[in-house]
Chain A
């Protein structure tokens, strides 16, 4: 019986986000790496807030205190990850742009070669190629001139080798930095933090649900704790994706009202879950429903702002 509860809650919480992951993000390996980075940074933020919670014993039950600091730490780490991401990917072209540029260059060069005389230009190109090949190889022995190596040339070769090595390393780092689409990247990072949130906050207790017996929510004693948690976690994971897309867009194009929207929504939703406490103003339906409404609204707002800033296009 409890196995049914386990699988039900598991699928309720994780289906949308995992479906999004496997259909969109898993197709592109760079996005997967960004997802792992996103969950790492979220994890660090939640560890710091856990440490903060732990070392102030008198405030452990004051939820308003803990929630505000936790949300603050998460947003700070989102900003830190944005800085890291923009430092890495700021003035690199995306892979599509590189491909398109090469395509254009190829087309133009073909056009130019057709216009010029075929013989002379290709010979010139071949000789330039050979020279560059010789310069760029460490121990290239294709040329016959390099057979006799004197002392000076050995020195020169050594210096060239060192320079070459440095150029190689920087070239490798350069080509490592073609980036995917910004919107997709921020969505991938959001999926990372959402999945990390889901697994850590909810997955930890989910395993306990397979034991004998079950727990009931403190606010509404007739509702299963795991059910309620799974629905709210579903909303929160989707919200994490939305937060990330909006926040990165705001940081990137300096539209800080988007960032303010993210922070305010994050605070509002987490404070709404305070309604789950068994106090006077308790209502589990209130919290779940309101959080759901806010989720829908945020998703709509996210799509709207993406359309408005031309990151996505509506086709019919």
Chain B
């Protein structure tokens, strides 16, 4: 390490020599990463004077590429040395995190604990604890490449979950109806849903969402208490049972719905065999040793099943639920006495992982990012709700959620604390959903029927 550090030291000593940047000549084609420092040989196609790019040096490599990208700059401005100095500092800060560093550099992320109840009627009153935290386990030295690949590595599973949910919801919705009995049992019929904005439905949706929130809070607090007093066996037993029940019952329901929607027959024995194996593999894949892809696949499957089931709630209930859970998430993660913050601090003190359902991109690699499963579930819920309306809403909500996720990750990279991933995305998503639903859909329908392309 001393070699590179001494080089970085010489960065500062050579502040006057600004001709390093002028001598740079690279060919930044994505196909081959060759770095070449030879002077410019103009063998390019046109003989006109080179207009604005003094730093463009192209090379005459004889390979099969006909057009090659040059690394261009804005103008011939001298890049000052603040860039060099800052990269120095980052290299020096690399492995010097002492234990009593007040800024929590090793953040672990949070749990999403979801357990379905047994009854089909109360299925929607799930004890979904979605604590949405992002944590990162990377060094101080993060370049844009690492940061971008981290973002992309979390965007891919989120997009896959959303696409799977949209596909299945659209497929099932075309064939069957998508009703729910939850709101009827709680509010005495006719509440919480529908397209009209009457006082009745809004209040009913508040009641239902409040109930779900209450269950979330109770379960979170119970979880934190169990973790605090080290009743790990109860904790893990609870988790195993809940994931198993959820995979089993939701898997059964969903599998059966898909079979009946596609008009395929299957006998009970094979069905039971498949579902049983699926469930057991799921528990092993999530909680024990499995290949990383299997682990991630099962986490995505859990999110998909959960989101599809939650989509059965009435429309207003879903939006109220999303808003309430997003606000709760904000408080639970950032308030000093919030249960999630307590949980994160406890797990950091004991220096162990939070035992919960957390999606982890790349264990032990440089780009290690943890996102709670609740984020997946609520994003997919919003998207599937949009899918039940119109496909243009789906895409605009998709872009909004991805942008919100990107902004959240940007805040995470700047502040390096555990942050709630829900609020920005959900609020942007709901905003774009309503605008697209009311304005964009009629616009597009009018345009496509007359074949005008804007």
Contacts and interface: CB of A to CB of B under 8 A. Distances in A.
B177 interface: no
B414 A129 contact: no
B65 A315 contact: yes
Interface residues of B, number: 106
Given A29-B152, A63-B452, A94-B28, A315 B71 contact: no
Interface stretch (A2-10, A31-39, A75-83, A293-301): A31-39
A15 interface: no
Contacts of A71: 454
Given A47-B439, A252-B74, A315-B60, A93 B83 contact: yes
Interface in B111-149: 140-145, 147-149
B53 A276 contact: no
A7 B143 CA distance: 41
A268 interface: no
A265 interface: no
A145 interface: no
Interface in B58-112: 58, 60-63, 65-74, 77, 79, 82-84, 86-87, 89-90, 92-93, 96, 98, 100-103
B92 A90 contact: no
Interface stretch (A148-156, A256-264, A304-312): A304-312
A172 B87 contact: no
Nearest to A133: B92
A236 B69 contact: no
Interface of B: 2, 4-7, 9-11, 14, 20-21, 23-26, 28, 30, 35, 37, 43-46, 48, 50-53, 55-56, 58, 60-63, 65-74, 77, 79, 82-84, 86-87, 89-90, 92-93, 96, 98, 100-103, 140-145, 147-149, 151-152, 155, 170, 390-392, 395-396, 399-400, 402-403, 406, 413-414, 432, 435-436, 438-444, 446-454
Interface residues of A, number: 121
A33 B139 CA distance: 22
Interface in A186-203: 196, 199-203
Given A95-B145, A99-B35, A310-B44, A276 B450 contact: yes
A105 B11 contact: yes
A183 B69 contact: yes
Given A51-B439, A63-B452, A169-B414, A136 B35 contact: no
A17 interface: no
Contacts of B55: 97
Contacts of A122: 6
Contacts, number: 333
B83 A200 contact: no
Contacts of A49: 443, 454
Interface in A66-99: 66-67, 70-71, 74, 86, 90-99
A104 B37 contact: yes
Interface string A125-150: 11011001100111111000000000
A312 B24 contact: no
Contacts of B170: 207
A232 B447 CA distance: 13
A53 B446 CA distance: 11
Contacts of B69: 181, 183-184, 311-313
B444 A204 contact: yes
A32 B454 contact: no
A136 B96 contact: yes
A102 B7 CA distance: 8
B67 A200 contact: no
